[in-house]
Chain A
Amino acid sequence: MNIDDATAAANDRLADRDDMIVCVNVDKFYGDFQALKGVTATIKEGEVAVVCGPSGSGKSTWIRCINRLEVHQGGDIVVDGIELTNDLRNIEKIRSEVGMVFQQFNLFPHLTVLDNITLAPIWVRKKPRAEAESMARALLERVGIPEQAEKFPGQLSGGQQQRVAIARSLAMEPRVMLFDEPTSALDPEMIKEVLDVMKELARSGITMMVVTHEMGFAREVADRIMFMEGGEIVEVGTPEHFFTNPTEDRTKLFLSQIL
């Protein structure tokens, strides 16, 4: 892999931080199709990593392996020092430390916005209800929709739903946030409101791993961009390196199609 000066600088900046997510030779098969081919990467604490690539390249599969929505079949995944194995306790711990935002929002349609957010803090983190609710209201304030607390998800627009989903994940006070194409299912005019929330989050210093096609977002806030194709990480670099001077042909081709 090629690293230019900017990337080296970025690496230096990140080098002294702790490892947050470590993946070593992660393999994943669906029947006879290999979705991940020995993915190896480390994401540091407080880093914002954007994963991009053509559809079917395995980026969603990878991110879903990290909180074991999919079970990887080879290699190792370590999140915040906890290895992701068959150990029930480790799975529980990792899931309560890793928040995830889905493409289809996946809010619980039978619960109000407030209940959606407080469910996990109350029943997983064992918080008193009053405390959980006040935190939920604060989070709704933070994502810009404090007035929607009593509504049901079905009554909100797509952008609002996705912001509720972000608030729901944040309510668990996660150390890592995973975003699986958070804007792909949104109408164009709603993408910005979600991206704004994500930018604000990125600046707050939380570790983020984002699968997205929003190159503007990547350029603005990403510490590093990873390009995947065919189940492998093809190229890793800072935004400047990635957009101005990509080394791999496959990256160039992808960028020419998307920009």
Chain B
Amino acid sequence: MAINSPPSIHHERPPLYRDVTVVKWVVQIVALLLTLGALWFLANQAGDNLRASNVPTDYDFLSVNPGIDLSSGIDTDPDTGGRALWVGMVNTLRMAIAGILVATILGVIVGLARLSNNWLLKKIGTVFVETLRNVPLLVQILFYGAVFASLDRVTAEVGPINGWLHISNKGLSMPRAHIADGFYQWVIVLLVGLVVANFLRKRRIAQQDVTGEETYPILSAFGLMVVVAVIGWFIHPIFGFIGGIFEALSALVSSIPETALQFVIGALCLGTSAYWIRGFLNSRRTPAGLAKLTDDDYFRMIFAAVGGVVGAFFFLVLWPGLSSWMINSTSDLFEVLGNKFGNGRSGRPLDVDLPNIVQTGKFPNYGPSGLNFSIGFAAVFFGVVFYTAAFIAEIVRGGILAVPKGQTEAAASLGLRRSTALRRVIIPQALRVMLPPLGNQYLNLTKNTSLAIAVGYSDIVQVGQTVYNQTGKTLPVVSIWMFFYLSCSLSISVIVNFFNVRMKIVER
């Protein structure tokens, strides 16, 4: 067997600069170091410059009165910088959530209109989409703002329905339902009701599966919720005892020693990296023992380990305040919750106030009792809603067109009614395609609310700008913006992903 005998091979190690693995990792590590170096350098520079201009980078302004007034929000005269930014965040979220709801509805309608076989509706839909898509959002917002600003002045009897609904150049004012004493107990009742209703829904579904009879699971669950809500309106004071529980929790949390939490955080960092490495090794394990690890694999593990150690070091040594902050804020949160359930809160859960017009100084203005939407809010709201709806309409249209025609035909050949075919066959498939880009649009809408700064609606960016103009703390404010928007983006993508995964399971 001369031909197949292994010849002796003279091994030689290639020089380092020609070794694939070495080159690959040296290049990467150099790039990483360069990036980190550049960041460090910039941060250092910024620190020097800030010190030179006597504006230290700290977050003290969060607890100092900034002395600013906000144009709208839950608190138009905040007493701390933190409170002001909080109001801005709430305003942004309010705008984003309302905008997402309305834009989705409008977008679906327009998208379907473009798909209909009615020539006129199709054309209207097309004009809507093409016009709004091709004009910058900011231009639209400014235009709406200018139009609203040219509405009639506020007078004591401005309409259209005096005492109920007012529209003027100060915005819109209408009746408001607001949270009253018994609200939080009532919420507990609702939560209990929700659990029971869900249970009912599942039972009904099971019943339908067994007997084949229509049991209307969602309808009956919904009915149960209504009943619970009505009953809860009267009996909610029985949940007053929950306040005590929260207060106890608050005391419990504040009794945790700081160092213990600190060590837990450090251990968590190390543990995560160790867990990852173990998982990695497991994935490389073969029935015949551990598979041969490549140099890449070693580098990965070393990186994970270094990351864990650096993280632990960071939290333990460089930022020891984290644990005390976590303890204090959690304890505060429980205490606030406890107060909400405090004794003697037996009033109605919700109250309704009618709008009023008050004479402050020379000019009449909307009073605080109604639900007031400023011109700024309306301009931004209409802007983001129309703009996003145009994009959503295209997504809806594309999503439905992406379902092959054969699916409709197959459903029809099975004898499904058109509505059933839509609900059970077409829409589930279209939704699966539509979800990721829809999530993107929701994200865009949330980010686009930042254009409120142009019409003076107090969103987080506008408030932040006012705050740093007053205090000079630009860097901290920008960091808060980044943190806020990144959390929004992350939440939206988590939600979208959750539904995405569910859709994929439906597919199987």
Q: Do A and B bind each other?
A: yes
Chain A residues within 8 Å of B, Cβ to Cβ: 1, 3, 11, 14-15, 19, 22, 24-25, 27, 29, 31-34, 40-42, 44, 71, 73-74, 76, 78, 83, 85-91, 236
Task: Provide the bound-state CA to CA distance between A73 and B295, in Å.
Answer: 10
| Chain A contact residues: helix, strand, loop or mixed | strand
Please determine whether A34 and B288 come into contact, CB atoms closer than 8 angstroms.
Answer: yes
Please determine whether B9 and A78 come into contact, CB atoms closer than 8 angstroms.
Answer: yes
Task: Provide the bound-state CA to CA distance between A22 and B5, in Å.
Answer: 10
Please determine whether A71 and B6 come into contact, CB atoms closer than 8 angstroms.
Answer: no
Please determine whether B23 and A34 come into contact, CB atoms closer than 8 angstroms.
Answer: no
Q: Which residues of chain A come closer than 8 Å to B12, judged between CB atoms? A: 83
Our pick among B6, B7, B294 for the contact of A73 (Cβ within 8 Å) is: B294
Task: Provide the bound-state CA to CA distance between A1 and B294, in Å.
Answer: 32
Q: A83-B12, A85-B14 are in contact. Are A71 and B294 (CB under 8 A)?
A: yes
Closest beta carbon of chain B to A40's beta carbon, Å: 6
Q: Which residues of chain A come closer than 8 Å to B292, judged between CB atoms? A: 27, 29, 73-74
Q: Which residues of chain B come closer than 8 Å to A88, judged between CB atoms? A: 14, 18-20, 23
Task: Provide the bound-state CA to CA distance between A27 and B292, in Å.
Answer: 9
Please determine whether A40 and B3 come into contact, CB atoms closer than 8 angstroms.
Answer: no
Is the C-beta of B283 less than 8 angstroms from some C-beta in chain A? Answer: yes
Residue of B nearest to A68 (CB): B20
Task: Provide the bound-state CA to CA distance between A221 and B284, in Å.
Answer: 41
Please determine whether B291 and A89 come into contact, CB atoms closer than 8 angstroms.
Answer: no
Please determine whether B18 and A15 come into contact, CB atoms closer than 8 angstroms.
Answer: no
Task: Provide the bound-state CA to CA distance between A66 and B9, in Å.
Answer: 16
> Apart from A11-B3, A31-B283, A34-B291, what are 6 other A-B pairs with CB-CB below 8 Å?
A27-B292, A29-B291, A42-B3, A86-B19, A87-B14, A88-B19
Task: Provide the bound-state CA to CA distance between A1 and B9, in Å.
Answer: 23
Please determine whether A22 and B7 come into contact, CB atoms closer than 8 angstroms.
Answer: yes
Residue of B nearest to A74 (CB): B292
Please determine whether A32 and B11 come into contact, CB atoms closer than 8 angstroms.
Answer: no
Our pick among B4, B15, B285 for the contact of A40 (Cβ within 8 Å) is: B4
Please determine whether B3 and A15 come into contact, CB atoms closer than 8 angstroms.
Answer: yes
Among A3, A25, A85, A89, which residue has the most Cβ atoms of chain B within 10 A? A85
Chain B residues within 8 Å of A, Cβ to Cβ: 1-4, 6-7, 9-12, 14-15, 18-23, 283-288, 291-292, 294
Closest beta carbon of chain B to A255's beta carbon, Å: 21
Please determine whether A33 and B286 come into contact, CB atoms closer than 8 angstroms.
Answer: yes
Residue of B nearest to A23 (CB): B6
Q: A1-B1, A31-B283, A32-B287 are in contact. Are A40 and B6 (CB under 8 A)?
A: yes
Please determine whether A32 and B284 come into contact, CB atoms closer than 8 angstroms.
Answer: yes
Task: Provide the bound-state CA to CA distance between A29 and B283, in Å.
Answer: 12
Residue of B nearest to A14 (CB): B3
Residue of B nearest to A3 (CB): B1
Q: Which residues of chain B come closer than 8 Å to A29, judged between CB atoms? A: 286, 291-292
Task: Provide the bound-state CA to CA distance between A44 and B294, in Å.
Answer: 30
Task: Provide the bound-state CA to CA distance between A85 and B10, in Å.
Answer: 12
Q: Report 8 cross-chain contacts, Cβ distance below 8 Å, ordered by A residue.
A: A24-B6, A25-B6, A29-B286, A31-B283, A34-B291, A42-B3, A73-B292, A78-B9
Task: Provide the bound-state CA to CA distance between A150 and B288, in Å.
Answer: 53
Please determine whether A11 and B2 come into contact, CB atoms closer than 8 angstroms.
Answer: yes
Q: A31-B283, A32-B285 are in contact. Are A41 and B4 (CB under 8 A)?
A: yes
Task: Provide the bound-state CA to CA distance between A83 and B9, in Å.
Answer: 8
Please determine whether A31 and B1 come into contact, CB atoms closer than 8 angstroms.
Answer: no
Residue of B nearest to A83 (CB): B9
Q: Which residues of chain B come closer than 8 Å to A44, judged between CB atoms? A: 3
Please determine whether B286 and A32 come into contact, CB atoms closer than 8 angstroms.
Answer: yes
Among B11, B18, B21, B23, which residue has the most Cβ atoms of chain A within 10 A? B18
Closest beta carbon of chain B to A212's beta carbon, Å: 21
Our pick among B15, B21, B286 for the contact of A34 (Cβ within 8 Å) is: B286
Task: Provide the bound-state CA to CA distance between A78 and B6, in Å.
Answer: 11
Q: Which residues of chain A come closer than 8 Å to B2, judged between CB atoms? A: 11, 15
Q: A31-B291, A32-B286, A32-B291 are in contact. Are A42 and B20 (CB under 8 A)?
A: no
Please determine whether A42 and B283 come into contact, CB atoms closer than 8 angstroms.
Answer: no
Closest beta carbon of chain A to B432's beta carbon, Å: 29
Task: Provide the bound-state CA to CA distance between A41 and B4, in Å.
Answer: 5
Residue of B nearest to A71 (CB): B294
Task: Provide the bound-state CA to CA distance between A29 and B292, in Å.
Answer: 8
Shortest Cβ-Cβ A-B pairs, 3 listed: A87-B14, A32-B286, A24-B6
Residue of A nearest to B7 (CB): A22
Q: Which residues of chain B come closer than 8 Å to A90, judged between CB atoms? A: 14
Q: Which residues of chain B come closer than 8 Å to A27, judged between CB atoms? A: 292
Task: Provide the bound-state CA to CA distance between A70 and B22, in Å.
Answer: 18
Among B285, B286, B291, which residue has the most Cβ atoms of chain A within 10 A? B291
Q: A22-B9, A86-B21 are in contact. Are A42 and B284 (CB under 8 A)?
A: no
Task: Provide the bound-state CA to CA distance between A25 and B1, in Å.
Answer: 16
Q: A71-B294, A83-B9, A86-B21 are in contact. Are A31 and B284 (CB under 8 A)?
A: yes
Residue of A nearest to B296 (CB): A71
Q: Which residues of chain B come closer than 8 Å to A19, judged between CB atoms? A: 7
Q: Which residues of chain A come closer than 8 Å to B10, judged between CB atoms? A: 83
Q: Which residues of chain A come closer than 8 Å to B3, judged between CB atoms? A: 11, 14-15, 42, 44
Q: Which residues of chain A come closer than 8 Å to B287, judged between CB atoms? A: 32
